[in-house]
């Protein structure tokens, strides 16, 4: 826009030379025509021939996931040069998306990340070795936000006293990668590959919210990474300021209980009967034999909400040591994984007390063994106010109902619990068992809400 403005009036001719935000976006595949020609040359001039005294507050380079091999726009070497130029010009925000032509990770070793001004670094598709991780740890004293998506972390540790927000999404983690960030306010670790990171001194006094999503089928040494293009929501234009969507499923985690698919448990409580439910479910199950019986198709675009489970080869699940103890001071906690998840169940054996915890979201993993993991968490969360349970969609009730798997003789004291919201499939009988568990432990029925895949209370 600044470049176009320069041709409108003589007094605006040099406006581009001091623009604080350099936002370079390449669209391909019919979104914006024509394709940019000599894009790299334009970007070099825009960055390197600008007023030397004018800082670059923000550098953003976003590329659409669609690539035309006949169109030359820019290379990894070009981006490295632009990052260096931005750092030299005191950039505070750098956001680089993975280029679709690069089927390997871009090596960040070629770019020295040394800056007293850098506050927010957001990257996808980059390789970080220990040298770069050390630079981020010790030579970026103002770094507060670090967001990594689809990156390769081949180092031992990142340790930063300034870091407040850390997001790691679908990154390959090698060695015993440790996170140490004593002043962290927000942590999000979604579906790591090869091994889960180790958490050490993570926001012991400051942590406000943490999200951990694990899938055991990715967490072993022999897992073979399947390369997928990084899908940057920015290019699709979802309306957010930086062009990227939030990781949270706000539609579910919202405190609102009046949406069309959510109802009070009391509205469906009378529909439950053990024997009738078993017969009806058997009939439905028999009719649906041969169909895929898994998670809601709507969650395919968000694998961290649907627990993208693959066949697990039985190898040793790696990493994740000390995760619950490191998060024990969090005020909001989200722990999502499929049934039988290893790391969270292992760490739960030495469960700490979550004295500050007000909001808790748990997934299918906590439903096993007569709801033992769930009950254990509640026993160690005395000040909990809001509980969200996200159960596996299209859950098969048959075996559980025949075995009569229900919580027996288990108690907890959550005297401050104001709301329980259970998300499940419409025929998941466990919602009634959970309601019974909460009511037995003093939670009023009017505080229990249910959101089903096909609402019974619309």
pLDDT digits (tens, 9 = 90+) for 349-386: 999 999 999 999 999 999 887 899 999 999 999 999 99
- Which pLDDT belongs to residue 349? 92
> To which H or E segment does residue 112 belong?
none
User: pLDDT value at position 385?
Assistant: 98
Nearest to 179, CA basis, from 154, 196, 197: 197
Q: What is the DSSP string of 206-237?
A: T--EEEEE--GGG-STTPPP-------HHHH-
User: What is the pTM assigned to this prediction?
Assistant: 0.81
* Cβ neighbours of residue 83 closer than 8 Å, sequence gap 6 or more: 59, 94, 96, 111
Task: Measure the N-to-C terminal CA separation of the chain; round to a whole number of Å.
Answer: 47
For 237-330, where are the alpha helices, taking DSSP H only?
250-253, 266-269, 274-287, 303-306, 323-326
The predicted pLDDT at position 368 comes to 80
Please give the pLDDT value at position 186. 97
Residues of the chain under the 70 pLDDT cut: 1-17, 27-37, 64-72, 99-104, 222, 224-260, 272-315, 394-409, 454-458
Per-residue pLDDT at 284: 38
Rg (CA), the chain: 25
Distance CA 213, CA 197 (A): 12
Q: Which residues pair with 420 in a beta bridge?
A: 387, 448
Rounded CA gap, 294 and 315, in Å? 23
pLDDT value of position 291: 35
If phi > 0 it is left, if psi is from -120 to 50 it is alpha, else beta; for residue 262 that is beta
Is the dihedral angle over the CA atoms 101, 192, 141, 356 positive or is it negative?
Answer: positive
Residue 443 to residue 379: CA distance in whole angstroms: 14
pLDDT at 33: 45
Q: Are 439 and 248 in contact (CB under 8 A)?
A: no
**pLDDT value at residue 28:** 59
């Amino acid at each position: 826009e600044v470049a176009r403005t320069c041709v409108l009036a003589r007094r605006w001719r040099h406006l581009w030379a001091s623009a604080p935000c350099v936002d370079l976006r390449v669209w391909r595949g019919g979104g914006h025509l024509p394709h940019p020609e000599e894009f790299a040359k334009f970007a070099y001039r825009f960055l390197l021939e600008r007023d030397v005294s004018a800082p670059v507050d923000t550098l953003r380079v976003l590329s659409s996931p669609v690539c035309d091999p006949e169109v030359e726009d820019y290379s990894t070497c070009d981006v490295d040069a632009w990052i260096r130029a931005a750092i030299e010009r005191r950039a505070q925000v750098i956001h680089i998306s993975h280029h679709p032509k690069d089927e390997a990770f871009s090596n960040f070793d070629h770019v020295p990340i040394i800056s007293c001004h850098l506050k927010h670094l957001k990257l996808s598709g980059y390789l970080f070795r220990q040298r770069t991780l050390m630079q981020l740890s010790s030579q970026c004293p103002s770094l507060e936000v670090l967001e990594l998506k689809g990156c390769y972390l081949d180092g031992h540790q990142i340790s930063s006293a300034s870091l407040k927000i850390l997001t790691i999404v679908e990154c390959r983690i090698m060695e015993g990668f440790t996170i140490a960030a004593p002043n962290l306010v927000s942590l999000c670790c979604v579906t790591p590959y090869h091994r889960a990171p180790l958490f050490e001194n993570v926001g012991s006094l400051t942590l406000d919210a943490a999200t951990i999503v694990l899938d055991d089928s990715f967490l072993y040494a022999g897992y073979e990474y399947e390369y997928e293009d990084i899908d940057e929501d920015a290019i699709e234009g979802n309306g957010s300021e930086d062009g990227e969507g939030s990781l949270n499923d706000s539609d579910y985690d919202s405190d609102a209980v009046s949406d069309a698919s959510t109802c009070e448990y009391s509205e469906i409580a009378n529909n439950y009967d053990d024997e009738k439910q078993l017969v009806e479910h058997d009939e439905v199950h028999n009719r649906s034999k041969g169909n895929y019986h898994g998670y809601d198709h709507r969650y395919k675009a968000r694998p961290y909400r649907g627990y993208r489970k693959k066949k697990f080869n039985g190898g040793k699940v790696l990493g994740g040591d000390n995760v619950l103890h490191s998060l024990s001071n969090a005020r909001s906690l989200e722990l999502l994984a499929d049934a039988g998840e290893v790391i969270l169940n292992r760490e739960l054996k030495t469960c700490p007390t979550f004295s500050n915890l007000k909001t808790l979201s748990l997934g299918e993993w906590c439903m096993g063994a007569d709801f033992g993991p769930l009950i254990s968490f509640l026993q160690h969360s005395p000040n909990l106010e809001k509980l969200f349970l996200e159960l596996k969609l299209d859950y098969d009730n048959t075996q559980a109902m025949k075995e009569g798997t229900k919580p027996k003789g288990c108690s907890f004291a959550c005297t401050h619990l104001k709301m329980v919201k259970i998300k499940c499939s419409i025929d998941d009988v466990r919602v009634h068992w959970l309601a019974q568990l909460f009511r037995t432990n003093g939670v009023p029925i009017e505080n229990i809400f249910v959101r089903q895949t096909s609402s019974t209370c619309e």
